[in-house]
Structure 1
Amino acid sequence: MRFPVLDGWRGLCALFVALFHFSAFGNFYLNPFVRGSYLFVDFFFVLSGFVITHAYLGRLNSAPDAGIFLVRRMGRVWPLHAATLVAFIPLEIVKALAIHGEAAAFTGRFAPSSILSNLFLVHSLGVESELTWNMPSWSISAEVFAYITFALVCLLARRPWLVTAAAVALSAAGAFVVMGWSDHFIDTSFDLGYFRCLYGFFAGHIVYRLFMAARGAGLAKLPMAGLVEATCLIAVIVFVAAARGNALSFASPLLFGLVVWVFAFEGGVLSHLLAKVQFQWLGARSYSVYMVHALVIALYQKTAAVMQKLLGRPMFAETAVGGEETRLIFFGGTWVMDGLALSYLATVVAASALTYRFIEMPGQASFNALLLGRCKPTVQPATVDVT
């Protein structure tokens, strides 16, 4: 069983996360829904738990099975992560050459001391004092440790119902830690990112078990599926716009869990739309979209800084949107900035197509070939890959 509609959701959510991070002072930037789109990271966590459970529940019965599973997951996420991390280094070298006047190179979040924690994907465990290098990659670190936790639970619990009981406890524990210790509601990353992921990932496991229970009870399709899907979409739009920067955001995995459950049935008009080839293409490249967009933003910012120096006119503005001082690209008015944002998204998608073809797929194939060369795997790859 595949879930192409959920793949479509994944692609759209990746685009909105990319748009959220783009700092150009236009109408997109000011839109409440866009400003809250960082919450879609929690959608990724829930979706990951859902499809990993679908692919591997009941199949991780030995240490070799768990090892193969983890190597495959690393093959899915690490090659592109490493490539984007390395790609930031030349940008710091350019900064060091003083081609444009910015902060000192290889300092702050680009300090060399944080390269190893990023390379070994431990930078969501509180070992750093801020987001470092390719900032969105903290969630990949958190997911890797969620995979490890899932594998350990499967090995220790053995029976599916015990795994699910452990999932309930782990999701609740993750929620408890984030609610109790996060300074920014659910928007925690380098410090409590693993616990945020636990909350969503194991909520996704529970959603999958509820989905299969409904299917087992004879519910092949949702009644009034079109209306239910439309209601879910409206709820997501309203929630994301309203939950930004407040305690309502703690409910993100719960709402996204409901959305995943509904759209897993794939019965409504929106599901048929998301199953179209365009959304499937984007969904397949969503990990690349997620991982390369910060690099594209850095290129846009450095280009604006160079143009500011060459033209002798300001290309940036300081603003306090959301109560925090932020330096945004700004020239030519808000509509010009909206056009710049659209060009940025197009650049991200184009770059993602390249990284998907030349880094993601070859990297994954290399890890799989490594496994085939060392052992005969009993665990097959996940039907749907999410990160």
Structure 2
Amino acid sequence: MRFPVLDGWRGLCALCVALYHLHTLNHLHLFGFVRGSYLFVDFFFVLSGFVIIHAYSGRLGGSAEARAFLVRRFGRVWPLHAAVLLAFVALESMKAFSGPAAGNAAFTGAFAPSALVSNLALVHALGVEDQWTWNIPSWSISAEFFVYITFAILFLALRRTRMLIAAMVALAALGAGVVMGLSANHIDTSIDYGYFRCLYGFFTGCIVYRLYQAVGDRRLSRHAGGLAEAAALLAVIVFVSAAGSNALSLAAPLLFGLVVLVFAFEAGPVSRLLATSPFQRLGAWSYSIYMVHALVIAVLQKGTMVAQGIVGRPLFVERQIGGETDRLIAFGNAWVMDLFGVGYLLAVIGLSALTYRFVELPGQAMVNGLLVRSRKAAPANPVAEAA
């Protein structure tokens, strides 16, 4: 059983994160909702926990199944991650030949070659780097992969449902406690306490799935479902707009867990909209949208730097927004930059459709094929074979 409406949510969340990272002097960049849209990473974590426990809780009966689970998850996230890193390396190589107009020297700072190792090993969100490196949004992929490992160990170690639920509550509480106690920016933490942020969201999603199971067949009526969905949607908009980077942001996984629970029943008109083909396509492309948008932004920023040197006038401005100084692309008025933002989103979606087809799917198929071949090559009776 799939949850197509939640897939639709995944696509919308990816676009919101992509819009959050675009720093241009447009109208949307000033909106509290856009400036708080980094919180949709926590929606991803909650949704991932919900979907993963739904798909795998009955399939992790032993070490072989756990290994297969981790190999499949690796095949899901790593091929595209590696491909985007390769594209960033190509971009830095081009910058090395374009001169000072392209900004800092190539392969320095966030793009140091040494950081490629931690990125390729998916450990760059575990405190091994002192700054964001290469494809910045990929920190969450690093954190989540190690939460997958935690999930697999948990289901190998504990068999009784009550013990599993207690452990999931404890892990969610541990993640929340570490983030609350140690993060200087509340839930807006990544390369330092990103694992614990993901732990909080992921196991909140697992708990929400258990609640969904407990409700069982007691479905909402269409009228009640419509009201619940409208309330959930309004709550998301208000919360994201208000939370920003303040202490309220710490409640994001809890709110998003309730939203996931509401939309898992697919009972209202918003669900019917999210189940339509355009939103399903966005959902399918959501991982690509999340992973490639920073690359598109890097191309736009470097192109603007080069253009700035050619035209001989500033194409960036600095603005104080929310108490912080933002460096924004600004080669036209706010309306022109609004159109630029729309073009950016269309470019991200178009590129994501391509990477989904030509990188994600083949990458998954290749890794899953290796898994199948390794199983066929394994001896039927390992104990007898060893003897």
Q: TM-score scaled by structure 1?
A: 0.95
Residue 310 of structure 1: CA displacement?
1.1
Matches within 5 A, 1:1-387: 1-99=1-99, 100-215=101-216, 218-221=217-220, 224-375=224-375
Aligned-pair distance for 1:41?
Answer: 0.2
Give the direction of change, closer, same or farther, for the CA distance of 1:367–1:124 in structure 2 (3 Å limit). same
Kindly tell me the number of residue pairs found equivalent between the two proteins.
Answer: 375
**Percent of aligned positions with the same letter in both sequences?**
63
Moved more, 249-258 or 320-329: 320-329
Q: Which amino acid aligns with 1:3?
A: F
1:318: Cα distance to partner? 1.3
Q: State the distance in 2 between where 1:257 and 1:324 align.
A: 30
- How far residue 144 of structure 1 moved from its aligned partner, in angstroms, is 0.2
3-state DSSP class of the match of 2:173? helix
Cα displacement (A) at 1:219: 0.8
Q: What amino acid maps onto 2:149 in structure 1?
A: I
| Structure 1 Cα separation of the partners of residues 192 and 299 of structure 2 | 27
Shift of 1:130: 1.1
Instruction: Give the whole-Å Cα distance in 2 for the aligned partners of 1:354 and 1:101.
Output: 27
Contact kept in structure 2, 1:179 and 1:185, CA below 8 Å: yes
Amino acid at match of 1:93: S
Name the SS of the counterpart of 2:155 in structure 1: helix
Match of 1:383? none
What secondary structure, in the 3-state scheme, does the structure 1 residue paired with 2:191 have? coil
Q: CA deviation at 1:139?
A: 0.2
The SS at the match of 1:189 is coil
Residue 361 of structure 1, CA deviation: 0.2
For residues 158 and 228 of structure 1, the distance between their equivalents in structure 2, rounded to whole angstroms, comes to 35
How far 1:352 moved relative to its partner?
0.1
Contact 1:58 1:154 in 2 (8 A): no
| 1:332 positional shift | 1.4
* 1:79-113 CA distance string (max 9 Å, x none): 00000111111221222224424112211111111
How far is the alpha carbon of 1:145 from its aligned partner? 0.5
SS at match of 1:137: helix
Instruction: Say which SS state the counterpart of residue 328 (structure 2) adopts.
Output: strand
Q: d(CA) in 2 for partners of 1:343 and 1:59? A: 43
In the alignment, the residues of structure 2 paired with residue 161 and residue 59 of structure 1 have an alpha-carbon distance, to the nearest angstrom, of 18
Post-superposition Cα deviations, 1:169-189, rounded to whole Å, max 9, x if no partner, equal 000000000000001110000
Q: State the one-letter code of the partner of 2:141.
A: I
Task: Quote the Cα distance in structure 1 between the aligned partners of 2:90 and 2:376.
Answer: 40
Asked whether the 8 Å contact 1:24–1:328 carries over to 2, the reply is: yes
Displacement of 1:320: 2.1
Post-superposition Cα deviations, 1:203-234, rounded to whole Å, max 9, x if no partner, equal: 0000000000001xx41335611011000000
Contact 2:229 2:262 in 1 (8 A): yes
- Unaligned ranges ≥5, structure 2: 378-387
Measured after TM superposition, the shift of residue 311 of structure 1 is 1.2
Of 142-151 and 96-105, more deviation after overlay is shown by 96-105
Query: Is contact 2:26–2:335 with CA below 8 Å preserved after alignment?
Result: yes
Q: Would the aligned equivalents of 2:102 and 2:302 in 1 still touch at CA under 8 Å?
A: no
State the superposition RMSD in angstroms.
1.2
Q: Secondary structure of 1:75's partner?
A: helix
Q: CA deviation at 1:326?
A: 2.2
SS at match of 1:317: strand
On the 8 A contact 1:186/1:196 being kept in 2, the answer is: yes
Query: 2:103 touches 2:302 (CA, 8 Å); kept in 1?
Result: no
What SS does structure 2 have at the residue aligned with 1:319?
Answer: strand
Alignment deviations for residues 39-89 of structure 1 (CA, whole Å, 9 cap, x no partner): 000000000000000001132111110000000000000000000111111
- Distance (Å, rounded) in 2 between the aligned partners of 1:4 and 1:221: 17
How far the C-alpha of 1:376 sits from its partner, in A, is 5.7
Give the structure with higher Rg (CA): 2
SS in 2 for 1:145: helix
